[in-house]
Amino acid sequence: MNQITAEDSDQLAKRIVAHHSFPGASHAAIQRVLNKGEYKSLPHGADLCVEGDPGDEIFFLVRGNITVLRKDINGEDRVLSDMTCPCVFGHMAVVDGSRRSATCRANGPVEMVVLHRRSVDLLITEGSVAGVALRRLLIASLCDQLCSANGFVRKIVLDNSHGDDITQPPPATGTTPVQPAKKNTRVRRKDSDEDDLRTLSLKLGGWEAELGDLVDMEKEVEYVMDEDQRRTLDAKKKR
């Protein structure tokens, strides 16, 4: 297995620490993490990971640029973002065992350190210097990613709201007056469509309010139980 050179590892670790200021971040600790990974280089256009595939690797970009893509409803690739060094990516699928949520494609030749799942699984349960560093680096990266994702949603909403106030609370179905149809719909108002339009308007109002919640609350509350919690609850119910 190829390893990153001491010089590259030193430089990348310094840049990561400068970029993510998590508690206990140290250049030496990040270097230890990088030394557990495999060094790889890929040509322009190569996919590091593909949306929908299982994910067993975390990537640390050493050199080059990565384009992050997701498929839209029509199956066309949409560029979510571009990433440059220093960045860590691909960790969501490894953390929660889900499939890749986006495709990462080399935009020009790239060099990276690949940390495989078996190493990650070991490190994130450890109290070692490398374990603490990796765990907190991933948390810091996910926090930034969440803030950025929320900002992205905010931008889409604002770009398509045509001046509508998305901060208004959702209408309570059955008690709220009919909302006007949104300007960016293709619905033509006809008397015979009144009932449908009422339903449509309420739906749109609620939808935008939901997005308002999502956009506004970066510290949103997690109601979803993890799989272990769910299994425990199910077992209790059965008993």
How far is the C-alpha of 26 from the C-alpha of 31, rounded, in Å?
9
Q: Residue count at the site for another protein (CB under 8 A)?
A: 76
- Select the residue interacting with another protein from 18, 24, 54, 108 (CB under 8 A): 24
Q: Are 42 and 48 in contact (CB under 8 A)?
A: yes
Residues in 185-204 that interact with another protein by CB under 8 A: 185-187, 192-193, 195-197, 199-200, 203-204
**Nearer residue to another protein within complex by CB, 5 or 126:** 126
State which of positions 123-162 bind another protein (CB under 8 A).
124-127, 131-132, 135-136, 138-140, 142-147, 149-150, 152-153, 156-157, 160
In this structure, the strands spanning 47-49 and 103-106 are antiparallel
> Taking the CB of residue 113, how many other CB atoms lie within 10 A of it?
24
Q: In sequence order, which residues have a C-beta less than 8 Å from that of residue 97 and are 6 or more positions away? A: none
What residues numbered 57-86 form the site for another protein, per CB under 8 A?
Answer: 70, 72-74, 78
| CA–CA gap between residue 100 and residue 21 (Å, rounded) | 26
Question: Is residue 46 a contact point for another protein (CB under 8 A)?
Answer: no
In whole angstroms, the minimum distance from the beta carbon of 202 to another protein comes to 11
Give the interface segment with another protein, choosing from 7-15, 35-43, 103-111, 215-223 (CB under 8 A): 215-223
Among 5, 108, 184, 234, binds another protein (CB under 8 A): 184
175 or 192, CB closer to another protein? 192
Ordered strands of the 57-63 beta sheet: 38-42, 110-116, 57-63, 87-89
Q: Which residues pair with 58 in a beta bridge?
A: 115
Residues 4-23 within binding reach of another protein (CB under 8 A)? 20-23
Is the Cα dihedral 185, 190, 194, 196 positive or negative?
negative
Closest among 65, 67, 66, 70 to 51, alpha carbons compared = 70
The verdict on 213 binding another protein (CB under 8 A) reads yes
